[in-house]
Structure 1
Amino acid sequence: METPSAAAAACCCPRRPLQPPSRLLLLLSLLLSALCLRPGLGLYTVNTVYGDAIILPCHLEVPNDLRFGKWKYEMANKASEFIAFRSATKKTVQYDDVLEYKDRLNLSENYTLSISNARISDEKRFVCMLVTEDNVFEQPTVVKVFKQPSQPEIISRATFLETEQLKTLGECISQDGYPKGNLTWFKNGVVLQPTEEAVINEQTKVNQTTGLYTVISSLEYKPTKDDTNAQFTCSVTYFGPTGQETIRSESVAFDIHYPTEKVKIQVLTERNTIKEGDNITLKCSGNGNPPPQEFFFYIPGEPDPIRSSSLYVLTDVRRNATGEYRCSLTDESLMDSTIITVHYLDLSLTPSGEVIKQIGEALPVSCTISSSRNATVFWMKDNTRMRASPSFSSLQYQDAGNYICETTLQEVEGLKKRQILTLIVEGKPQIKMTKRTSTDGSYKMIACHVEGFPKPAVQWTSSGGVINKTEETKYVNGKFISKIKIAPEENVTLTCIAENQLERTVTSLNVSAISIPESDEPEEKSDDNRENVNDQAKLIVGIVVGLLLAALIAGVAYWLYMKKSKDVNGESQKEAAQNIQTLPRQESYFFMSASKHVDKDLGNIEENKKLEENNHKSEA
């Protein structure tokens, strides 16, 4: 808002009480104030955006004896026009019949005037008048309306521009702004000043209905070759409620025509290097615009140049395609060349494919390469990378698998070769039988350890016939275990039969009957014969130590008894004697129980000795 100016302060409007008060003097005062104030002397300024509401505060202190308030507007060379009235006593509001402001006004209780839908024609000086019985107070406010113009757009653009020729590039247009904006042309972000190579003409149009401005600027331009891909823009600079602002158009590039001065040959491939089997696309281009459409291509091994468009394709190239390639304009005035290298890689694996060998045999393996660059070789077995190349002096089942020899040229993307060796190691079935008793002694687990490839089929038999209820572990590296559970009531002989395409192997094992334990307490059995013997030895040592401790406790108790017997009566002596008689009976029961365990464990030792003898017989 503006502060009161000296000119406004010096205005002839009455600012002091009228003497004496009268209606005639009041009317004269209103008339005098209407004539006194002129546009341009407003004390306050309200900036409004086109189409928004105009808010005009009264900026006067409301006197206590106020009768009414009024608003009017003033324009140069025209009489003042009253537009709104509010009575302070009757609390009523009236709006004058002014066509321009019909249904657009609202006067609040604090005498703030609102005008909806601001227009360019609202740029006037509005005056707030507060009238008392003997005085009139006025305060003018100047309204400024602003309208942001549309974003500039380059229209009527040229299809192309030619070097050394002045031609209309296009027109920059910005519409419906207020006040009038200014247009500026830019090339690559730099302002274009009017010169012989850049001629600028501007025109302005006013909408008679809205009062808004449309600005148009045309540019004639003489380009150079350096203007290829140059970005042309234009901007409009205008004043808004907060000051000067700028809007820039979208950038536009123009096709610049100029003659060819140089020819270039390029190799278009998906990768930076070329390998055998690739397709090669040669591109020949001239730096003129529009570019030349036909060229001569010179291919190694071809006696004459080949006339073609800008692209020439060679398919499925071989290593002999390495050499110098050239292209030129059809008049051979300009020419360019390039060197192409076709990379190759050969690999030979011996032996390869499927190879069947017997266990224990030797197998030499070699992998040789030939390439255009140094190659890297590595081996994989069953999708796992190996640290070194395979070497087989004595084949084992775990040596079987898929071996891959792979080589790559690190400098050439996608150039790699591989060959596969599928090694099969065969062997006749080998059998070893073992047995163990369960922890609770209720059954025996008999295991038949089988080796061989192809995987042998296993069958169990006994004196009672074929046994079908078996369990098998996973077949890994030519080995697996077939198991059965039995609880024989008497000694039996079990036979394990393993057979594959190479041979049939049979082994038998004698198994003793399950002995029913005399105690309800479970006996502990180990999973291995050697561990079983060790556990039995530990048990015997424990029993002996326990008996010694029991004897020591009995001796101490008897000594204490003899000492106390001297100080107690006959009845106490009898009771003590009964306690001592009870102690040997407990010791006797503990010794008998421990003896039973020893007998059972010694029985297991004898059974394991028989198992070892049977295994020796089977192997023999």
Structure 2
Amino acid sequence: MAVRDAASLLVGLLILCHTWGAWANIEVNMEDRVEVFRGDTAQIACMFKSSEGIGAMIIQWFYVTWLGEKQRLYYQDSTTKIPERGTPFTDRISVNDTGASGEVVLTINNVQLADELEFICLVKSLSEAPGEGRTKLKVFETPELPTIQGVQTGISVNDDGLSPIASCLVTNGFPKPNITWYRNHTPLRNIDDEVKVNPSSTSESTGLYTVSSQLNMKVVKANKDDQFYCEVTYFVPGGIRMTETNRINITVLYPSTEVSIWVDSPKGKIKEGDVVELHCQGNGNSPTEIMTISHNQTGQIWDGKMLELHNVTRLHNGQYQCGIVELDTMEEIRGVTSVFVNYLDAAVVMPKDTILVTQGEELKATCNALSSLQTDTTWFKNGKVVTKGHSLMLKDATFDTAGTYMCVVTVPEIEGMQTSEVLHVKVQGPPKIMEQEHKDLEESVGNAVDLSCNVRGFPAPSVTWTTSDGKVIETATKEETEDGVHSVVSIEVTSDITAFCNATNEYGTDAVTFAIKAREGRGVIIAVVIICILLLAILGSTLYFLYKKGKICGRSGKQDLTKEKSSKDNIVVEMKSDNTEEAVLLEVNGEKRPPSDQGGEYLDVQK
């Protein structure tokens, strides 16, 4: 009896001890969530505290399916480490302890969207109550860049209700991206009768999301300069990122409330002959507007917003109106501008064309041109300024006064605006032959010499050419100049000549004398000189040859070769004339001998 009671007490003590141990739980700690990009590797850590070593622990990993069921994927005890067969993770997981007491890590390779589940770490021991921890795995995928597409047609402010503005699209994101519309940096929200945003999303077969959004608005004129764009926000491990589309404008159609018309070309003052370009523009933007330009002076009407007037005159002066009619409402608005064409009439010189002035008298002329602007007048002669002002006054007229005067009238305010007229001045007086540079000439016989005579005078003098013996020389050329006559003759020189240029008109006469001295031709003299030089050269050569051969000064024509050669070899030249029989014997070395002394050969040179 005592032994049985003792055994019962021992069992009770063991049961009591076991019950006290069950009251101590294993403490398990895990992160609430682990975030990772699709395709990356996820590591889920399970940390626990126990009085027993890890070798006495039983560790199991589970995941919760989409249906809420708990499915084991890994088992581990002191002798076994086994992945559960037949799960989506069987070939992609591994469990390792970190070496630290009380920590194991579940590693999942190549994470997919379907892996976004809750994972459970369950830890058991023999003497402690089991502990459990949970971690949610979050998977992310960065979406493609968003795109925006505005409406291609214009949007009228007169449209009833809301009008489509643009659509925004973002694809292949996870979790689902968000789209926010902006107008000029201000986010747009739904406002009754003003703004409506219609979002939509689609889950692709890959599990990724495509999100689109349509913006609708009641358009007003102020929207013509607005910029619209989309902002897309999406989640990434550890935070949120944002990207934006490009900015777009919309075409807003609205009627004009004001219209302007102006002269676009030329800039500044207009002159006759210009091309004038008028432009017309309203402050609206409507395809149903009709625009015309009209001239109040003539009543002419042109269609369109631009009018080009060619070669304008003062008849184009007046008001030009631009009218715009809105066909939807048949309302008309008008704008007005004035056009003034400046003019400069042709210059008028008085007296006209040609004026005759007698030598010594005074010349008076005037030049005027009507203009819409202030003018300047300048008189020119031969390109040089004579005087400035409308009047031309020249005192004590001379032949130098004669000529062509040009009156030029300009408008300083407008470049290129000018007119001109000419006045021909003739000064009446007796002929005056201009001073000649060469009146005494010398020319070879047989050559021709040109004589010119420049005569001033009006009426144009009559010019004749004569010689000292009264013969008339025919004029080669005669040209009337601005203030007289220019006459030229050509004379062949046969002997000394005296020629006269005679000029006469109704007011008097004048003459000039030319003296021409004839000289022998140079060609004959040169030829004679050359012949003489050649003859002397031949003569000298012959004498020297005969001298060297001993043919001169010997009586028998022979020389004694043994006889010492005389230092005085004689050469005798007999020179005869046609009128005498005398012969003059000359010795080459300067000694003279009588003819009886020669006895030898001699050279007979006859003239």
TM-score (norm 1): 0.41
| Structure showing the higher strand proportion among its residues | 2
* Greater helix share, structure number: 1
What TM-score results when the alignment is normalised by the length of structure 2?
Answer: 0.42
